[in-house]
């Protein structure tokens, strides 16, 4: 079957500036079904929440899956699955129904898929139980379940126990989750999937992605496992790789601070097999907000499997950042061979030859919905420790709208320091070493206190 699933996950959804998190790459592979026939049961969720485009995409993906198996097992689209491989269908809502026992008839399978109608709750446990009952315990065929669901279990027994019973009977379970309005219980899905979970569990964001997932899964079935696997993962330059764990299969090598190469000699050649690699990265760049973890992931193997990896997004929480704006630039154009250009750059006051001192200030534990008045006073000291005023800035820091108190960073508070006011007694030396002191005051503007008989304004 080749590579049947590929995944890339991050251990957290949000990390603070300078924080670290884990990235896990994973693969699952199955042997060639022409020489290693399989009994495959599709477990298809047809609960009420599947109504509309989700069910349409599910049908399209399942039909394409069946079509590719048909062609792969005997080399032609003749309406009959060959090589000893069979497919069955279990659909479920309040209860599960064995729509099609294991069969080689493509028409029977297609008719069952096209007849699916959404309605009712979600009984995952009954789906596993009815699917397991379709397998022939005396058959030497591989036993594979492909479960699709778009929601949490709402009726029935504990699905984990039913999934464990299927795995104990030798079944490999792929779980595909569609993340809809009602959300997904990722922990529950992880309990049901075969190990390593990241190789056998995939969550898609919408129906279109679901259709593509079934398509990719089907296209890889024509291959026989995978050999000579090489994966080169390059992460976003906002991060650096700080540690690399040993993969469950193969060898991984760190290449620089942002790249990992993972090599596996063979995977899934004689039986269903998964592999995973975990490494730890640290935020080292200046980027904030929602950042894609991937720079690129390149996959290759000897069989030419078509393998892509998702690009997870992580939120970098660097607190609220406020930057004093830079002055507006004055546009200057030099035409042709003009040797001189005259331009009016506007009125610039209190300026002379000198330097710019730029400060960043972090206000700690600023509570929500409260503005802050900030004052920064700059002085210069001479050799005797005498201080001389060099300027003061007062700023109003807008209220932050998060639910809890948090640090607020104010960046780029600029002071222009003329050379003619150098207090270090340079004796005519230009750009001498100078020493400054900064004093900072801050208080809430919106304190919530009012005196008797006043409105506090």
Q: Residue 120's pLDDT is what?
A: 93
Q: Is the model's pLDDT at 435 over the cut of 80?
A: yes
Helix residue ranges per DSSP H, 46-123: 53-74, 106-114
- CATH 3.30.56 assigned to 321-326+351-444: no
- Look at the block and give the residue holding tokens 């599947």: 50
Domain topology for 1-31+224-318: Immunoglobulin-like (2.60.40)
**Highest CATH level, class, for 33-222:** alpha beta
Under 8 Å between Cβ of 310 and 8: yes
Secondary structure in 3-state letters for 250-313: CEEEEECCCEEEEEEEEECCCCCEEEEEEEEEEECCCCCEEEECEEEEEEECCCCCCCCCCCCE
**Structure pTM?**
0.54
- CATH 3.40.50.410 positions along the chain are 33-222
Confidence (pLDDT) at 262: 96
Cis geometry, peptide bond prior to residue 445 (ω within 30 degrees of 0): no
Name the nearest CA neighbour of 269 among 226, 305, 219.
Answer: 226
Strand partners, 267: 226
* Domain(s) of CATH 2.60.40.10: residues in the chain: 1-31+224-318
Backbone angles phi, psi at 282, to 5 degrees: -130, 140
Residues with Cβ within 8 Å of residue 77, at least 6 apart in sequence? 67, 70, 71
pLDDT tens column, 212-256: 777 666 655 545 678 899 999 999 998 999 999 999 999 999 998
Segment 319-361, tens digit of pLDDT: 665 666 667 777 878 777 777 777 777 776 554 567 889 999 9
Average pLDDT score over residue span 155-165? 93
Q: Are 221 and 33 in contact (CB under 8 A)?
A: yes
Angle between helices 53-74 and 106-114 (to 10 degrees): 170
């Amino acid at each position: 079957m080749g590579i049947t699933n590929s995944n890339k996950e991050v251990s957290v959804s949000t990390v603070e500036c300078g924080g670290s998190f884990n990235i896990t790459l994973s693969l699952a592979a199955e042997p060639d079904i022409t020489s290693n026939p399989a009994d495959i049961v599709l477990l298809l969720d047809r609960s009420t929440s599947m109504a509309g485009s989700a069910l349409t995409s599910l049908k399209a993906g399942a039909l394409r899956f069946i079509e590719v198996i048909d062609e792969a097992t005997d080399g032609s689209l003749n309406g009959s699955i060959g090589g000893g491989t069979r497919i069955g269908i279990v659909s479920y809502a309040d209860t599960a129904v064995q729509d099609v026992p294991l069969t080689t008839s493509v028409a029977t399978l297609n008719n069952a898929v096209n007849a699916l109608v959404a309605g009712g709750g979600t009984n995952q446990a009954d789906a596993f139980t009815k699917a397991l009952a379709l397998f022939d315990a005396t058959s030497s065929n591989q036993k594979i379940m492909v479960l699709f669901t778009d929601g949490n279990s709402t009726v029935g027994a504990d699905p984990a126990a039913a999934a464990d019973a299927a795995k104990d009977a030798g079944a490999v379970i792929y779980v595909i989750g569609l993340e809809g309005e009602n959300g997904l219980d990722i922990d529950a899905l992880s309990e049901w999937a075969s190990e390593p979970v990241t190789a056998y569990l995939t969550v898609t964001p919408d129906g279109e992605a679901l259709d593509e997932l079934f398509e990719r899964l089907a296209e890889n079935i024509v291959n026989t496992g995978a050999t000579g696997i090489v994966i080169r993962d390059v992460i976003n330059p906002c991060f650096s790789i700080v540690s690399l764990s040993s993969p469950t299969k193969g060898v991984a090598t760190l290449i620089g601070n942002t790249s990992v190469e993972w090599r596996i000699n063979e995977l899934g050649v004689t039986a269903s097999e998964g592999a995973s690699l975990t490494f730890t990265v640290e935020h080292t760049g200046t980027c904030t907000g929602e950042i894609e973890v991937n720079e690129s992931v390149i996959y290759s193997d000897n069989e030419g499997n078509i393998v892509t990896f998702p690009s997870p997004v992580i939120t970098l929480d660097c607190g609220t950042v406020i930057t004093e704006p830079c002055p507006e630039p004055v546009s200057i154009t030099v035409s042709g061979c003009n040797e001189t250009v005259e331009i009016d750059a506007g009125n610039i006051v209190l300026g002379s030859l000198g330097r710019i001192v730029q400060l960043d200030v972090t206000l700690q534990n600023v509570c929500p919905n409260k503005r802050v008045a900030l004052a920064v006073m700059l002085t210069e000291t001479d050799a005797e420790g005498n201080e001389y005023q060099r300027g003061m800035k007062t700023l109003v820091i807008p209220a932050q709208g998060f639910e809890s108190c948090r640090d607020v960073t104010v960046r780029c508070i600029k002071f222009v320091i003329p050379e003619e006011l150098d207090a270090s007694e340079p004796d005519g030396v230009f750009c001498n070493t100078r020493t400054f002191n900064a004093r900072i005051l801050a208080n809430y503007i919106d304190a919530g206190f009012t005196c008797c008989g006043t409105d506090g304004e």
